Amino acid sequence: MRALPLAGLTVVSLEQAVAAPFATRQLADLGARVIKVERDTGDFARGYDETVHGMSSYFVWLNRSKESIVLDLKSESGLTVLRELVGRADVLVQNLAPGAVERLGLGPDEALALNPRLIHASISGYGRGGSYEQKKAYDLLVQCEAGLLSVTGTPEDPAKVGVSIADVCAGMYTFSGILTALLQRATTGRGDVLEVSMLEALGEWMQQPYFFAEYGGTPPQRNGAQHASIAPYGPFDTADGTVFFGIQNEREWAAFCTDVLGSPLLGEHPDFRGNALRVQNRPALHAAILEVLGGLDSVEVLARLDRANIANAQLRSMHDFSAHPQLAERGRWQNVDSPVGRVRSLIPPVTSRETGFRMDPVPAIGQHTEQILAELGLSL
């Protein structure tokens, strides 16, 4: 087995739901020991659904390779164990309600006084300070606050992104921030305090539409699956289904008209010369394209697009994605053990020549409590 780059590091996580568990699972993938502190009822994401042989799809996704310890943090014995864990840890991650970690006596200053090499990472909805600090923040609500729904959906109706995108991007920035802090600590010997808010993390991803609106005078319009500022780009109906493709430049536009539509003259039409005019005249553009594609089946259209080197895609369901030939051909699936049996999971997306990854079991609630207490020489 190839070396795990974070082997030997210990992460203690006061985590729930998606954002913090996503950050710590990636640390676990790279070899860190992640000790997940749960209440007696467990991380509430365990109860989001029961679709994976009785387990939550969220929990299976986010919690492999972790150790679960159940602690009553309202008791002195539970707090003693937690402080002992934090005192020995390299990283503390938490996404509890605002102020909760301070009430446990493990806010940034207290925790670093206990362990000066500790990297203390907090995820919140809106960040410390400001009038929104105490406001509850769920993924959809942060999508609203960051303006994402203003640019996603149809002209008639806004739509949320179909995955927990605010949680995921906050988790990603927490993960990368922790890696950066570990590199810094290797030089300075000191820990650090990291804060990531879901609003600011998603706001980073929203900067292109922000710039477009702030300096262009008008916000991007909701266009369903069509691109707001590029045409043609999006779904187009064929005789037996829908295909997706996108044109990035004038060379591709000319090739599309000639090799896919068989209409080189369309490429010279004055209403469609340049992307700005194609966007402005989108209804007429789409009508001209659909007149040809409506007489062809999807397989033929995709083949023509490939021959013309035009980027394209099929609209796949989750079952289609599960059977995606590219993932199978590259060996991107691996079974992971869990309390309900083996579950087929994607391996981490970053490949390395030098380092490996691990995909150890998803833990049951409190599965490692006795083992961890024995290591500490403590009891509850």
Determine the Cα–Cα distance for residues 125 and 135; give it in Å rounded to an integer: 8
- Please name the residues in contact with 371: beta carbons below 8 A apart, sequence gap of 6 or more: 67
- Please name the residues in contact with 265: beta carbons below 8 A apart, sequence gap of 6 or more: 257
Given a contact cutoff of 8 angstroms between Cβ atoms, the answer to whether 296 and 228 are in contact is no
Q: Which residues of 338-364 are buried (b: 16+ CB within 10 A; e: fewer)?
A: beeeebebebbeeeeeeebbbbebbbe
Determine the Cα–Cα distance for residues 349 and 156; give it in Å rounded to an integer: 36
Which of 53, 120, 227, 319 is an active site residue?
227
53 is catalytic: no
Sign of the Cα torsion 271, 275, 279, 280 reads negative
What is residue 10's three-state secondary structure?
Answer: strand
Identify each DSSP E strand in 190-338 by its residue range: 192-197, 233-237, 242-246, 312-314, 333-336
- Please name the residues in contact with 249: beta carbons below 8 A apart, sequence gap of 6 or more: none
Given a contact cutoff of 8 angstroms between Cβ atoms, the answer to whether 252 and 259 are in contact is no
Determine the Cα–Cα distance for residues 343 and 334; give it in Å rounded to an integer: 8
Spatial CA neighbour of 134 closest among 171, 105, 97: 97
- What one-character DSSP code corresponds to residue 355? B
Given a contact cutoff of 8 angstroms between Cβ atoms, the answer to whether 32 and 9 are in contact is yes
Instruction: Judge residue 139's burial from the number of C-beta atoms within 10 Å of its C-beta, 0-12 exposed, 13-18 middle, 19 or more buried.
Output: buried
Just list the catalytic residues. Answer: 227
